Amino acid sequence: MSEPASISASIAKRYATAVFEIAQDNANLDGLETSVNDLAIALGDHADLRNLISSPLISRAEQGTAIDAIAKKMGVSPELENTLGLMAEKRRLFVLPQLISALRDLLAEQRDEVTADVISAKALTKAQTEKLAATLKRTVGKTVTINATVDDSLIGGLVVKVGSKMIDTSIRSKLASLQNAMKEVG
C-alpha cells in the first residue's frame, strides 16, 4: 500500500471506529449499516458526489452544506450524518470510500461474518456458491459472504481470497507454475 493510501486508510479507520462505537452505544447498528450501503450506492452512481468529496476547489463550508443536505435527503443515521459533517469541517471527506469499507468490515466482524472474493472462469451457479460458502465457513469458522466475479483468462478453476489468505486453483496459475518448473530444468 502506498503511503498516501495508508494515511487515508488510517484516517478512515479512526472515523469508522468512532461512528461504529457511537452507533453501537445507541443500539443503531442496523440503521448504520443501511446508511453505509445507501451511501456506497450513491457514491458509485453519482460523479457529482465523488467530485464533491475529492475536489480541492470546493470550500469546507460548501462541502459541509452539500454533504449535510445529501445526508438529510438520504436519511442516513444520525451518527453517520454527524460524522460526515465533522469530516467536511476537517477536510477529510476524501476518505469516504475507505470509511465505507472500514465500516462494512466492522459491521461484518460484529455479525461474525467475513467476505470472500471469488474469481472464476465462468459464473458460479447458486448451488456452487452455496457449497463454496459452506466449505469456507468450515475452514474459517465464520459465516462467509461470497463476492463473485468472472475472469475468462483463468481458463478454469477459482481464485479465492478471504482476508489476507488467497487460494489460487486456476488453470492459468497451474500452467504458469508448470512453465516456471520447465524453465528451471532446461
Question: What pLDDT, in 10s, does the model give residues 163-183?
Answer: 888 888 888 888 888 888 888
pLDDT band at 1 (very low <50, low <70, confident <90, very high): low
d(CA 101, CA 36): 9
What's the pLDDT at 2? 58
Whether residue 109 has pLDDT greater than 80: yes
d(CA 164, CA 177): 21
Average pLDDT score over residue span 107-135: 91
Task: Confirm if 136 and 116 have CB atoms less than 8 A apart.
Answer: yes
pLDDT band at 186 (very low <50, low <70, confident <90, very high): low
Q: List all residues 6 or more positions away from 174 whose beta carbon is below 8 Å from its beta carbon.
A: 157
For residue 46, the 8-state DSSP code is: -
Q: Concatenated DSSP letters for 12-40?
A: HHHHHHHHHHHHHHTT-HHHHHHHHHHHH
Average pLDDT score over residue span 143-155: 88
Strands (E), the chain: 113-120, 143-150, 158-162, 165-168
- Domain spans, the chain: 3-109, 115-185
Whether residue 4 has pLDDT greater than 80: no
| pLDDT, tens digit, 9 for 90 and up, residues 52-74 | 999 999 999 999 999 999 999 99
d(CA 79, CA 134): 35
Average pLDDT score over residue span 100-117: 90
What's the pLDDT at 67? 95
| CATH code of the region 3-109 | 1.10.520.20
Q: Which three cell numbers stand for residue 79?
A: 451518527
